[in-house]
């Protein structure tokens, strides 16, 4: 549990803690493991379905502070076992590929919705101090199965504080946009297509919020310090145009417009006009409070009716800025 004393001492919120990381072998999971091993003495229980990926993560980090548990968030009993003796749960497990969720909707429901409920119940039953669940801009005004299931997951986690009343467990969410270079993202696709001499773009008008893995980890760590339970923390991040991303990765390569796919939006939203009525500007982040909850932190109320969308964002990345960012990220761009 993050305490006032820890905040005053500026101590890392995971120092001395035992952390359960669901989806621990994914892109976020590995970035989180790298940071926490470097910055704290925490022990991390890596919980995921794939034993091969667990082996690869074990070989990559080689730390005695990592514990590996094969399991699925659909399995409540296995989650409860994994949560026993844990101080913090970081819930990153999800089905997140939009086309896969569209074609396998109930599989997405079982992982993203029932899985979130299982995490909440396991945390409360095991007296876990804090739960932070990762969400997405796709959960805002969802038009696809992935977004709809993540919206449900947000509601389940936030409402979990009601069921945890009287216990020591606090639950909250972080919500952010597209993660640069995560598995299945458009960046590896464009890099592969660059070698083939032709890029495919669904719609040239498209814009997206843009966040790096390190920034996503920062958001989780900082929000662990500030959360009192029930919030949705949203980072202030830039937008990028899909055509600028294409120019950054493959300048001069011919592009073919294929048409928008099922479940895609032209632009994304991180805060709706309805949410702005109970949201606050924290400086480097926004926080969406539960409706009718009292905000006790230092923050400025948002203007009623304000929205945070990728096409009306104040901050944009140019092709040159995108290229510079990519060059510093595992040399993705030559």
Annotated catalytic sites, by residue? Answer: 138
Q: Which residues contact 103 (CB under 8 A, 6 or more apart)?
A: none
Residue 55 to residue 45: CA distance in whole angstroms: 14
Q: Where are the alpha helices (DSSP H) in the chain?
A: 4-8, 27-39, 51-61, 76-83, 98-103, 105-108, 115-125, 145-163, 186-196, 213-226, 242-249, 319-327
Tell me the three state secondary structure of residue 284.
coil
Neighbours of 184 (CB within 10 A): 13
Q: 220: Cβ–Cβ under 8 A, 6 or more apart, which residues?
A: 32, 90, 132, 134, 174
Give Cβ neighbours of residue 9 (< 8 Å, ≥ 6 apart).
none
CA distance 320 to 248: 6
Neighbour count for residue 162 (Cβ, 10 Å): 10
58 CB-contact burial (10 Å; exposed 0-12 / middle 13-18 / buried 19+)? middle
Largest CA distance in the chain: 61
């Amino acid at each position: 549990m993050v305490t006032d004393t820890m905040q005053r001492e500026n101590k890392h919120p995971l120092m001395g803690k035992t952390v359960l990381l669901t989806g621990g072998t994914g892109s976020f999971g590995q970035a989180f493991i790298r940071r926490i091993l470097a910055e704290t003495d925490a022990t991390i229980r890596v919980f995921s379905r794939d034993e091969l990926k667990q082996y690869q993560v074990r070989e990559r980090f080689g730390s005695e502070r990592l514990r590996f548990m094969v399991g699925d968030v659909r399995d409540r009993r296995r989650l409860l076992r994994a949560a026993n003796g844990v101080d913090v749960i970081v819930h990153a497990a999800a089905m997140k590929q939009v086309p896969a969720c569209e074609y396998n909707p109930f599989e997405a429901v079982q992982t993203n919705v029932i899985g979130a409920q299982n995490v909440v119940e396991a945390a409360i039953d095991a007296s876990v101090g804090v739960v932070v669940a990762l969400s997405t801009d796709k959960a805002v005004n969802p038009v696809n199965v992935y977004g709809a299931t993540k919206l449900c997951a947000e509601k389940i986690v936030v409402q979990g504080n009601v069921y945890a009343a009287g216990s020591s467990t606090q639950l909250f969410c972080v919500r952010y946009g597209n993660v640069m270079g995560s598995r299945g993202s458009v960046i590896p696709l464009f890099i592969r297509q660059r070698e083939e001499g032709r890029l495919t773009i669904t719609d040239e008008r498209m814009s997206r919020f843009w966040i790096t893995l390190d920034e996503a980890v920062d958001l989780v760590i900082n929000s662990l310090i500030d959360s009192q339970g029930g919030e949705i923390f949203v980072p202030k991040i830039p937008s990028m145009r899909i055509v600028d991303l294409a120019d950054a990765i493959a300048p001069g390569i011919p592009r073919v417009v294929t048409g928008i796919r099922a479940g895609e939006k032209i632009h994304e939203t991180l805060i709706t006009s309805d949410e702005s009525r109970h949201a606050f500007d924290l400086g480097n982040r926004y926080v969406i409070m539960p409706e009718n909850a009292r905000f006790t932190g230092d923050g400025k109320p948002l203007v009623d009716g304000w929205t945070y969308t990728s096409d009306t964002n104040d901050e944009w990345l140019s092709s040159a800025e995108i290229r510079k960012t990519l060059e510093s990220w595992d040399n993705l761009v030559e």
